[in-house]
Amino acid sequence: MSQIKAYSASASKARVLPTEIERRPVGTNDVQIAIEHCGVCHTDIHFVNNDWGMTHYPVVPGHEIVGRVTEVGSAVSNFQVGDRAAIGCLVDSCGLCSNCEKGLEQYCLNGFTATYNSETQDPGGFTYGGYYQSIVAKESFVLKVPDSLNGPGIAPLLCAGITTYSPLKNWKIGPESKVGVIGLGGLGHMGVKFSHALGAHTTMITSSEQKGEDARLLGADEVLLSSSVDALVQEAGSFDFLLNTIPVNHDLTPYLELLKTNGTMCVVGAVEPLSQVNAAQLIFGRRSLSGSLIGGIAETQEMLNFCGEKNILSEVEVIRMDEINDAYTRMQKNQVKYRFVLDLGSLN
């Protein structure tokens, strides 16, 4: 194991500080990537602050990773030194369970290996993420970046992108669909872009008139102000699918009422107990309340290819590594349009 200087979080301050962590050598099936950009996800803040009580310090966050291949193992066939490459939220899974067999590594029944703060499949190892100069990962979990995509807006596709693309595909959203995207942040802005690109009639559902106007620029056909009871009543029973990106608990009632018969609201933001659900809203309309987690490796590659074809990137603000703490503060105040991306060159 070599020692690499990187930015990670200390338990005492729950903030990003320089420290020394271990890094694995490049194995037979591994790809080493010099990281150029890494997106900053809300999950990173939760891990840095140990909000979920599962952080193993020192933690190196970051699972929206894009860079260039600098070394490949002897059995690697799909990547060469100099290729662009990307890593998302997963770097391994058991590969044997029924979900892994279906390409649903994100639901690996034996527990996937997350890109950071995770034990490796081989006992004794531990993962560190993309707030870093480089990363080593198994080839089968490394993604190709389409030639037509460039710049820091690629990185957030690896988490915010696939988290919104996967449910839209799973629920077969297309030109016949009327989709509502609830909330306009890192996830929501990608949801609007994908829903629009898939040909669906796309409505931004937000409490903020300004965010509504911003969403139109991203591809929303309409804006529904969730603060207006009249507007909600008028749109009741009209949506096939709602992508709910609100990151905290909230009242689901007004949103469930927007669904058509057989409609689904998929929660991707709030990973926590939700307010009471009125079963009558589900029963009288055969509606569903669902959830979805990122995406599998094949689907993530499909999403990147789709972005390449449709020229879809995340809207980002690039920051230096030493600006990360301020960025976290601004994210918690919802003051970013729509994702911070670390320029890892700033570590040199």
Chain positions 240 to 279 lying near a second copy, rule: CB under 8 A, are: 261, 264, 267-268, 270-279
C-beta separation of 125 from 116 below 8 A: no
Dist CA 79 CA 109 (whole Å): 28
The least distance separating a second copy from the CB of residue 248, rounded to whole angstroms, comes to 10
The least distance separating a second copy from the CB of residue 293, rounded to whole angstroms, comes to 5
At residue 52, the 3 state secondary structure works out as: coil
Q: What is the DSSP string of 173-231?
A: --TT-EEEEE--SHHHHHHHHHHHHTT-EEEEEES-HHHHHHHHHHT-SEEEETT-HHH
Interface residue with a second copy among 284, 320, 326, 332 (CB under 8 A) is: 284
CB atoms < 10 A from the CB of 217, how many?
A: 10
Site for a second copy (CB under 8 A): which residue of 288, 310, 315, 336? 288
Q: Which stretch binds a second copy (CB under 8 A): 122-130, 189-197, 286-294, 326-334?
A: 286-294
Taking CB under 8 A as the binding criterion, the range among 103-111, 200-208, 209-217, 308-316 that sits at the site for a second copy is 103-111
Contact status: 75 vs a second copy (CB under 8 A): no
- Least CB distance from residue 280 to a second copy, whole Å? 5
Reference 324, options 6, 1, 65, 7; nearest CA is: 7
Q: Does 104 sit near a second copy (CB under 8 A)?
A: yes
From the CB of 232, what's the least distance to a second copy, in Å? 17
Beta carbons of 29 and 79 less than 8 angstroms apart: no
Is 27 buried (19+), middle (13-18) or exposed (0-12) by CB count in 10 A? middle
Among 74, 82, 147, 283, binds a second copy (CB under 8 A): 283
**The tokens 């729950």 sit on which residue?**
14
293 binds a second copy per the rule CB under 8 A? yes
For a second copy, the binding residue among 237, 251, 322, 345 (CB under 8 A) is 237
- Cα–Cα distances in angstroms (integers) from residue 305 to residues 120, 228, 275, in the given order: 28, 38, 37
Binding mask 149-188 for a second copy (x = CB under 8 A): ---------------------x------------------
Residues that bind a second copy (CB under 8 A): 99, 104, 107, 109, 170, 237, 261, 264, 267-268, 270-293
